[in-house]
Structure 1
Amino acid sequence: MSGLLAAFFSSFITTLLIIRFKHLHSHLSADSDLTGPQKFHTKIVPRIGGIAIAAGLLLAILLRLKNVPNSTIEVTLLICAIPTFAIGLIEDLTKKISVRKRLFFTMISAALFVYLLQAQIVRLDIPGVDFILTIPLVGAIFTIFAMMGLANAYNIIDGFNGLASMVGIITLLGIAYVGFLFADPTIIYPSLVMAGAILGFFIWNYPRGLIFLGDGGAYLIGFWIAALSILLVFRHQEVSPWFALLINAYPIMETLFTIYRRRIHQGKSPGQPDGIHFHTLIYRRILMNNHQDKNWFSANSKTAPYLWILAGMSVAPAILWWKSTLILITACLIFIISYVWIYTSIVKFRTPKWLRLEQ
């Protein structure tokens, strides 16, 4: 509990200080691009919220190390996260780091995770595939690419106030719950302190958008969740590997669908931004009429809850049937079908009436 409170309050206070003294650093930290296809804010806002989350995480882990000197896994996780957080933060400050370079540094973080913790994806409960994954190099490469993908996925879904941060909190609480079932503090503690650190930032980000997560924060959250998802399945053979996939289904699906849309449908680079993500469509096709609201809950702030519910549709069955591969695969298929159906309906201006809550 002390670690959770330390992570929350240090993140909360750091975020407050960043906002309070933004006039001193806004020339470096502010997101001043108001015209891009993925930009929906109307004023210049600091995009270095990741610093606050990192500060909360650091303090909580140092506190853990002081009380439990052999907490090497938590410290190792923090060390592994440094490259991906650092390159994201540099992008937040310079706006000049390419997607390829960011992915390269995320790959370094993932490789450090595999090497230092000797943990990787070794099974998918699919005959033949599991045999291939037991080959050390194959399993390591697959793990690295999976972690790169999820870290980048959180950057992709970070489009509206409170979206990526709350999805991260929901997912971390789900991981912590399963870790609790096994009484595994190695899973519980880093899950809860990261959730606490994100919450300290979230309060200032949602609903008013006083500060943004930034690439550094998004990559840090995505990498941390990827590491804990893999570590949980690796340490406890009773947990189905499909738990790790289903509990992260929303950001994974958004990423895969984005790659398909940009590469196959549009014929352009997957790294090139566009304005038709799932969250963007909800904003433009369902909530756009209220985008000039002067109250706190503008269309921007009303967008995220739609996606929180969508994420919950995968997290809930993941934590209910964490050891049943058959049920989890079925839930994955249902989620994919639901995602594609809703997305297609909105694109074709056939949005289901139950999604138009304000009409």
Structure 2
Amino acid sequence: MSSLLTAFFVSFIATFLIIRFKHLHSGTTGDFDLSGPQKFHTIVVPRIGGVSIALSVLCAILLKLTNSPNYLMELTLLVCAIPTFLIGLAEDLTKKISVKKRLFFTAVSAALAIYLLQAQVVRLDIPVLDIILALPGISAIFTIFAITGVANAYNIIDGFNGLASMVGIITLLALAYLGYVFSDYAMIYLALVMAAAILGFFIWNYPRGLIFLGDGGAYLIGFWIATLSVMLTSRHPEVSPWFALLINGYPILETLFTIYRRKIHQGKSPGQPDGIHFHTLIYRRVLSSSHQDKNWFSTNARTAPYLWILAVISVTPAILWWQSSTILMIATLLFTIIYVWTYTRIVKFKTPKCLHL
């Protein structure tokens, strides 16, 4: 418990200090792009919230290092996360790191996790695909692709105050719950220490948006969650691999749909930004943006809860039926239908009445 409190308070205090002294570093750390298709803030805001999260997790793990039976696993996961965090932070500071370079370094982190933690997807509970995964090297390649994809997915959904951070907390709590079911104390700790670190940041990010997660924070959270998801199914074969997919259902589906939309419909590179993500449509077409910055609970802040609910819709069946791949496959299909149907209705200006709260 002391290390979890450490993670929270170090993150809380470090985030406060970044905000308090932003006048000293905003020239390097500030988000000056106020007019991009995915920009909804009107003042320069620090985008290095990931620094406080990384620092807090480091302090918490080091504090517990001498009396933890799982210290090697905890420290190893932290080491594996270094490449993806640093390349994200480099983008936050320079704004010049390409998507390909960020994905490459995240893939390096994923490869380290496979080698050092044996975090590997070895089955999907689909006979033909399981045979393919059993071929030499295929499982490792698929795992690198999956972890890299989820890490990038958290960067994609990081568009509004509190969105990616709370989705991350929800997912980490689901992982901690399964750790509790199996008395897997390493899994419980690794999930909760990151959740505590994110919460210390979240208080300053939501609802006012005093600081942003940044690419470093988004990639770190996504990598951490993806790796724990793979580790859980590897360590406990009773857990369906579809549990790992469904608890990350919202960010994964948002990423796949984004790639489809940009590549097929727009005919451009999937790495180029656009302004029609699901969260952007909620902001522009479901909520009124006329009073965006005139009160503490702005339109920006009112956007994220819609997507938190979407994440809960995906996570809930995964928690209830974590043993059954059949049920979770059906739940994944239903969630995909809900997502696509709702998105299509909003695009066609036929927003479901239940969204007009």
Deviation at residue 70 of structure 1 after TM alignment: 4.8
Q: Are 2:51 and 1:51 equivalent residues in the alignment?
A: yes
Deviation at residue 293 of structure 1 after TM alignment: 4.4
Counterpart residue identity of residue 334, structure 2? I
Question: Is the Cα–Cα contact under 8 Å of residues 176 and 191 in structure 1 kept in the other structure?
Answer: yes
SS in structure 2 of the partner of residue 160 of structure 1: coil
Counterpart residue identity of residue 131, structure 1? I
Cα RMSD (Å) of the superposition?
0.9
TM-score normalised by L of structure 1: 0.98
2:23 is aligned to 23
- Find the aligned partners of 2:239 and 2:290 in 1 and give their Cα distance: 44
Deviation at residue 64 of structure 1 after TM alignment: 2.0
Distance 1:93 1:77, change over 3 A: same
SS in structure 2 of the partner of residue 183 of structure 1: coil
Question: Is the Cα–Cα contact under 8 Å of residues 291 and 300 in structure 1 kept in the other structure?
Answer: no
Question: Is the Cα–Cα contact under 8 Å of residues 28 and 93 in structure 2 kept in the other structure?
Answer: yes
Distance 1:70 1:255, change over 3 A: closer
SS in structure 1 of the partner of residue 37 of structure 2: coil
Distance 1:291 1:268, change over 3 A: farther
- Find the aligned partners of 1:228 and 1:94 in 2 and give their Cα distance: 30
Question: Is the Cα–Cα contact under 8 Å of residues 162 and 207 in structure 1 kept in the other structure?
Answer: yes
- Find the aligned partners of 1:138 and 1:108 in 2 and give their Cα distance: 16
SS in structure 2 of the partner of residue 237 of structure 1: coil
1:183 is aligned to 183
Question: Is the Cα–Cα contact under 8 Å of residues 70 and 186 in structure 2 kept in the other structure?
Answer: no
Flag as ranges the 4+ runs of structure 1 deviating above 2 A.
288-293
Deviation at residue 63 of structure 1 after TM alignment: 1.7
Q: Are 2:84 and 1:84 equivalent residues in the alignment?
A: yes
Matches within 5 A, 1:99-110: 99-110=99-110
- Find the aligned partners of 2:293 and 2:43 in 1 and give their Cα distance: 14
Q: Are 2:261 and 1:261 equivalent residues in the alignment?
A: yes
Question: Is the Cα–Cα contact under 8 Å of residues 122 and 130 in structure 2 kept in the other structure?
Answer: yes
- Find the aligned partners of 1:291 and 1:201 in 2 and give their Cα distance: 25
TM-score normalised by L of structure 2: 0.99
- Find the aligned partners of 1:325 and 1:70 in 2 and give their Cα distance: 29
Deviation at residue 289 of structure 1 after TM alignment: 3.7
Unaligned runs of 5+ in 2: none
Counterpart residue identity of residue 335, structure 2? F
Deviation at residue 298 of structure 1 after TM alignment: 0.5
Distance 1:136 1:183, change over 3 A: farther
Q: How many residues align?
A: 357
Counterpart residue identity of residue 127, structure 1? P
Question: Is the Cα–Cα contact under 8 Å of residues 157 and 254 in structure 2 kept in the other structure?
Answer: yes
Distance 1:334 1:93, change over 3 A: same
Distance 1:332 1:96, change over 3 A: same
Deviation at residue 165 of structure 1 after TM alignment: 0.1
1:2 is aligned to 2
Q: Which moved more, 1:347-356 or 1:57-66?
A: 57-66
Counterpart residue identity of residue 283, structure 1? Y
Unaligned runs of 5+ in 1: none
- Find the aligned partners of 1:245 and 1:204 in 2 and give their Cα distance: 30
State percent identity of aligned pairs.
75
Question: Is the Cα–Cα contact under 8 Å of residues 118 and 231 in structure 2 kept in the other structure?
Answer: no
Question: Is the Cα–Cα contact under 8 Å of residues 119 and 227 in structure 2 kept in the other structure?
Answer: no
1:345 is aligned to 345
Deviation at residue 133 of structure 1 after TM alignment: 1.0
- Find the aligned partners of 1:326 and 1:291 in 2 and give their Cα distance: 46
- Find the aligned partners of 1:290 and 1:188 in 2 and give their Cα distance: 43
2:273 is aligned to 273
Counterpart residue identity of residue 193, structure 2? V
Matches within 5 A, 1:219-298: 219-298=219-298
- Find the aligned partners of 1:250 and 1:92 in 2 and give their Cα distance: 24
